[in-house]
């Protein structure tokens, strides 16, 4: 399947997360993004160095600026179970705006065409690193990294594109 691209409508899919009352929830991507301007960004894995030190903190730090430019939601997707995503989210106590969403079986990642086979490193199927700017379900910007790079999918890269 071809990777998601500018002009495409994002596929629907179900992702899991823990709400403010610490209850496990399921949400459709379309319910989170329909009629809104959202950023969906994906990382290869929770607690991994580039994801934890650079990618996620960038979106947390720039959330106010992104919201001031009309962004309604900032959605982080990773191929991890919801319990791992909950534990990872707790390592960012200042986060108020980035929603940590679990794609445990990589079903949604496959629907986006952004899967990455890291079996040789013992990690199985993961997500490529990416950032999408989506307006009412339609992709306006699709910044997808090659390999293990972190050159086009940062919060700053999305800010430049808005």
Is 48 an annotated catalytic residue? no
Rounded CA separation 51/150 (Å): 9
Rounded CA separation 24/8 (Å): 30
Rounded CA separation 130/40 (Å): 8
Rounded CA separation 127/132 (Å): 13
Cβ proximity of 111 and 79 under 8 Å: no
132: tokens are 């999408």
Beta strands in 46-129 (DSSP E): 73-78, 98-102, 115-117, 125-127
Q: Could you say which of 4, 32, 51, 89 is catalytic? A: 51
DSSP character at residue 106 = S
- Which residues does the annotation mark as catalytic? 51
């Amino acid at each position: 399947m071809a990777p998601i691209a500018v002009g495409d409508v994002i596929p629907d899919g179900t992702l899991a997360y823990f709400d403010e009352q610490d209850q496990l929830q399921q949400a459709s991507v379309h319910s989170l993004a329909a009629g809104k301007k959202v950023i969906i960004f994906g990382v290869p894995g929770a607690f991994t160095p580039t994801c934890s030190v650079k990618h996620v903190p960038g979106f947390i730090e720039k959330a106010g600026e992104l919201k001031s430019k009309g962004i309604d939601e900032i959605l982080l997707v990773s191929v991890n179970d919801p319990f791992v995503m909950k534990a990872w989210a707790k390592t960012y106590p200042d986060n108020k705006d980035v929603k940590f969403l679990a794609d445990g079986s990589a079903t949604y990642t496959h629907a986006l065409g952004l899967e990455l086979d890291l079996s040789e490193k013992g990690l199985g199927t993961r997500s490529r690193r990416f950032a999408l700017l989506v307006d009412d379900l339609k992709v306006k910007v699709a910044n997808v990294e090659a390999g293990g790079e972190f050159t086009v999918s940062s919060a700053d890269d999305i800010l430049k594109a808005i």
